[in-house]
Structure 1
Amino acid sequence: MNKRSFKYAWVLDKLKAERERGITIDIALWKFETTKYYCTVIDAPGHRDFIKNMITGTSQADCAVLIIDSTTGGFEAGISKDGQTREHALLAFTLGVKQMICCCNKMDATTPKYSKSRYEEIVKEVSSYLKKVGYNPDKIPFVPISGFEGDNMIERSTNLDWYKGPTLLDALDQINEPKRPSDKPLRLPLQDVYKIGGIGTVPVGRVETGVIKPGMVVTFGPSGLTTEVKSVEMHHEALTEALPGDNVGFNVKNVAVKDLKRGYVASNSKDDPAKGAASFTSQVIIMNHPGQIGNGYAPVLDCHTSHIAVKFSEILTKIDRRSGKEIEKEPKFLKNGDAGMVKMLPTKPMVVETFAEYPPLGRFAVRDMRQTVAVGVIKSVDKKDPTGAKVTKAAVKKGAK
């Protein structure tokens, strides 16, 4: 346990591999309460290999807590051109996480300790970057903390008496209550699927839109598998219905674990059921690509919980990123800083939706060479009906009632 800077992360680090490397790998769901909210920490891992977990994690978050290393060298590395602080902030904004809290961490290890001038320098630099990304830094609290010593995490610290703002816990209490789109049709991207002895198959994920309840007949896109929901639970309690924002497990009848995968999307079979996309058109912004991107480019798309290679089949237009106006038709290439409309073809069946109808399923990050090379939103989807989709006995019985 000599990894001094990982004291608080230790609570979340459950996997042995993570413990040995001293980094947070899979998205740990960890709960605590403030006076106002039940909080679920989706511990989006701050380590380059794990950005794809971060992408699926951030797309479920109501507020991003950006942890900044305040030490000499640590901050500079994070905010450098290819640093993690920058990439995480950009992803959070692109993936629709509107609210942010910045924590200037490791204040116990600045020179001198708990340095006010270091804090001010960081606030100034990070604010200017966050503004470029699209956030309004005036609305973002910058909380100086030491995760290791516990300063300003829960209670005000005398070591930081020059700071008059909220503690981390206070800042979490002050976030605006997120609006939940419960009146839309159900979309619940699967994060995992478990087989639980004596219960059966239990898919797990966050309700993004609509509601899910026991007795409902759900269709999983893109396969079209249709079955009945037996029970829904959250935090080990049975629910009569789950609403947007709820991270739930639900038990389905007559379905084998192998029939469902992460990235599949549960939907109400009677209300705009989710289908696979034959192709879709997106507005993308290229941000970290060393060369140029032309027709035929085939990177990986991270959209909600799915992680699938897609082909840029046609670059339709190049557009001005500020105004959204078309600059050029059918450009040969897009390069860093360019924005364009692109027709994309998934290499495997995948569910996506337009950003206008289902925002959480309509934004994505483009990954290549182990980094995020572009981000985008989906403007239109050409959906296809599944062939030979399995409908379980439970669903048939339910439908006949």
Structure 2
Amino acid sequence: MDPNAPAFDPDAAEFVPDGYDFAPAPAPVAAAPAPAPAAGGLFAASLAGKPATVDPHAARLAAMAAEFSKPAPAPAPAAAAPAPAAAAPAPAPTPAPAPAPTPAPAPAPAPKPAAAAPAPAPAAAAAAAASSAADADETSSSLTKEEVDAKLAECDPRDHVNVVFMGHVDAGKSTLSGNILYLTGMVDQRTIDKFTREAKAKNRESWFLAYIMDTDEQEREKGKTVEVGRAPFETENRRFTVLDAPGHKSFVPNMIQGASQADIGVLVISARKGEFEAGFDKGGQTREHAQLAKTLGVKELIVAVNKMDDPTVEWGEERFDEIKTALAPFLKQSGFSKKRIRYIPISGLTGANVKEPLAAGVADWFSGPTLLQAFEDVKIPGRDPYSALRMPILDRFNERGTIAMGKVEAGILFEGQRIMVMPLRERCRVDKIFLDDETEISVAKPGENVRVRLKGVTDDDVMKGYVLCEPHAPVHAVTKFQAQLMLSNLDHKGIFTAGYKAIMHVHTADEEVTCDKIIAELNKKTGEVKGRVRFVRDGDLCTAVLSLTRRTCLEKYDDLQQLGRFTLRDEGRTIAVGKVIGLPKSELEG
């Protein structure tokens, strides 16, 4: 991202132009049956050197699209009107002949007439709600506040907090993460001794703590984190999950995945002479990680100035102040509030100032908290357990049944609850719920990372990027939406205009997206319309209509930030950050 680009404020006032076919406000919950999945096209997980692959669920989604699209001819022209390229609807006719025999015998669409029945008459939303409520076996009922409070009483009263460790490669993120787990009793001495021997055998004696987080042999050989490492630890007052994000620029999409789930960001900086400069200068990942974290919703930032025990530093106050002075204006420009940034000198390898305060005489110039004390002190924004359930799926696997893994972003999840997988509209039941440490719980509140065993669906029904929700209040699944975008890093193509293709990273989903139309350029300070334009450049703020190759679960940013903010990447760089500000009326009506 352009270090000189103005900060994108996702909380700025949105702009919805007059006369455009997007809903100015979300539809009532009862009148928002889930839209049908469209045919899948080419899907790219990222642009970091990975070729696009054919969507494995294209045939199934095409069959479902054909089934659900029959009774809804009216909204189709409206949805297609703003899309000159018509990328999303195009694949539907092509795969339709191939899977045509499949929907006939398939049991999935047949037993669900209630879901398709309201579509021929979108105006009869009340009939849809009545039909849905009448079928107690198919639809979960909403809980009253008293019922939710009773469920919450079963939960651990301590808050759960996701902490993402980010920063330039070799800043010491994995070593610091591993040492935190060791210092909090999550790793025993026998395991540490084992990792010490393994690291010594590879002539990497100082990497033994990183082995706690870097479990892949390739990661251990090269000393580079690839996937987002996850591990729980707890203190007396809070429960935490460490998200160890990769620092190499080739794995920024994985870092985005970690940051999108985080409540606290820890920007790990190497104080060693030359290493801070390499990470902070152009081409380093310190800048991009900090900017991405802010736009992905991380408001609380801890700058862990690591390797303060290095011989080139020796806990020197001058080096600490030098780093702080260089970072402060950049972090302010990136949108972080000065009051929400803490600078803490540490040694991730020795554990100095991580859990226990520094010994007298080491760095008497520092009187602030230890790193773990700072974790305890950070205020976590309020979470809403009374709203409709929203749980984006991060991963899935099979262990005595289909298990979905993710973070509960809104509402509550409980055993026996009847829920729905969107965008497939597959209904199922919650069988068991587990925390990251395999502890079984009966209720999960917002902010919890959980693994949910589901009954009534197969592994093919549960994919990364899908969302668990309640049948009476489904998440919106759309192929077109209106966005507010802040552009950056466009020097490789010059302009952003209709036809521009990129990869959109939103909650746990990675989807191919195309710009259908630039609606207007906005004043970056006031948000007012500067003028109708056909293209925008680096640093511009605009509103645009974007199309997706397949239905994707989204919410307006004002309704649920976690499902309404996103980044766009192209050719290994972040070219825009944005928020969802409008959903098509036809999609809202189902």
The verdict on a shared fold, with TM-score over 0.5 as the criterion, is: yes
How far apart are the structure 1 equivalents of 2:383 and 2:247? 28
TM-score normalised to the size of structure 1?
A: 0.91
Q: Deviations over 1:99-136 (max 9, x none)?
A: 11110111122624222111001111111111001112
Amino acid at match of 1:337: G
How far apart are the structure 1 equivalents of 2:463 and 2:378? 33
Q: Deviations over 1:163-200 (max 9, x none)?
A: 1111111111111133112121111000101101xx21
List alignment gaps of at least 5 residues for structure 2: 1-198
Kept in 2, the 8 Å contact 1:214–1:231? The answer is yes
How far apart are the structure 1 equivalents of 2:481 and 2:207? 42
Equivalent in the alignment of 2:264: 63
1:267 aligns with 2:469: yes
Equivalent in the alignment of 2:344: 143
1:21 aligns with 2:21: no
SS class of match (1:350): strand
The runs of at least 4 consecutive aligned structure 1 residues that moved more than 3 Å come to 2-8, 383-387
Equivalent in the alignment of 1:308: 511
Question: Which residue of the other structure, out of 304, 307, 330, is the alignment partner of 1:129?
Answer: 330
Structure 1 pair 169–142 and aligned structure 2 pair: CA distance change class (3 A): same
1:238 aligns with 2:440: yes
Equivalent in the alignment of 2:536: 334
Amino acid at match of 1:263: G
Kept in 1, the 8 Å contact 2:427–2:457? The answer is no
What is the number of residues matched between the two proteins?
A: 383
SS class of match (2:443): coil
Amino acid at match of 1:310: V
SS class of match (2:554): coil
Identity of aligned residues (%): 34
How far apart are the structure 2 equivalents of 1:143 and 1:64? 13
Structure 1 pair 151–173 and aligned structure 2 pair: CA distance change class (3 A): same
Question: Which residue of the other structure, out of 437, 451, 458, is the alignment partner of 1:249?
Answer: 451
TM-score normalised to the size of structure 2?
A: 0.63
How far apart are the structure 2 equivalents of 1:109 and 1:144? 12
Q: How much is the aligned-residue C-alpha RMSD, in angstroms?
A: 1.8
Please state how far the C-alpha of 1:205 moved relative to its aligned partner.
0.4
Alignment of 1:164-203 (within 5 A): 164-196=367-399, 199-203=400-404
How far apart are the structure 2 equivalents of 1:361 and 1:112? 43
How far apart are the structure 2 equivalents of 1:273 and 1:285? 29
Question: Which residue of the other structure, out of 557, 562, 566, is the alignment partner of 1:355?
Answer: 557
How far apart are the structure 2 equivalents of 1:61 and 1:216? 26
Equivalent in the alignment of 1:392: none
1:89 aligns with 2:285: no
How far apart are the structure 1 equivalents of 2:546 and 2:283? 27
SS class of match (1:351): strand
1:371 aligns with 2:589: no
Structure 1 pair 306–112 and aligned structure 2 pair: CA distance change class (3 A): closer
Structure 1 pair 386–147 and aligned structure 2 pair: CA distance change class (3 A): farther
How far apart are the structure 2 equivalents of 1:268 and 1:384? 18
List alignment gaps of at least 5 residues for structure 1: 388-401
How far apart are the structure 2 equivalents of 1:138 and 1:248? 32
How far apart are the structure 2 equivalents of 1:112 and 1:256? 55
Kept in 2, the 8 Å contact 1:110–1:118? The answer is no
Amino acid at match of 2:554: V
Equivalent in the alignment of 2:232: 31
Please state how far the C-alpha of 1:7 moved relative to its aligned partner.
4.4
How far apart are the structure 2 equivalents of 1:67 and 1:154? 16
Question: Which residue of the other structure, out of 38, 42, 47, is the alignment partner of 2:248?
Answer: 47
Amino acid at match of 2:288: E
Q: Deviations over 1:31-52 (max 9, x none)?
A: 1122321111111222212211
Larger radius of gyration: 2
Q: Deviations over 1:121-161 (max 9, x none)?
A: 11111111110011122432101111122221111223323
Kept in 2, the 8 Å contact 1:293–1:333? The answer is yes
Question: Which residue of the other structure, out of 294, 311, 314, is the alignment partner of 2:497?
Answer: 294
Say which structure, 1 or 2, has more relative contact order (CA 8 Å, 6+ apart): 2
Kept in 2, the 8 Å contact 1:224–1:275? The answer is no
Kept in 1, the 8 Å contact 2:272–2:313? The answer is no
Kept in 2, the 8 Å contact 1:187–1:207? The answer is yes
1:120 aligns with 2:321: yes
Amino acid at match of 1:327: K
Kept in 1, the 8 Å contact 2:433–2:451? The answer is yes
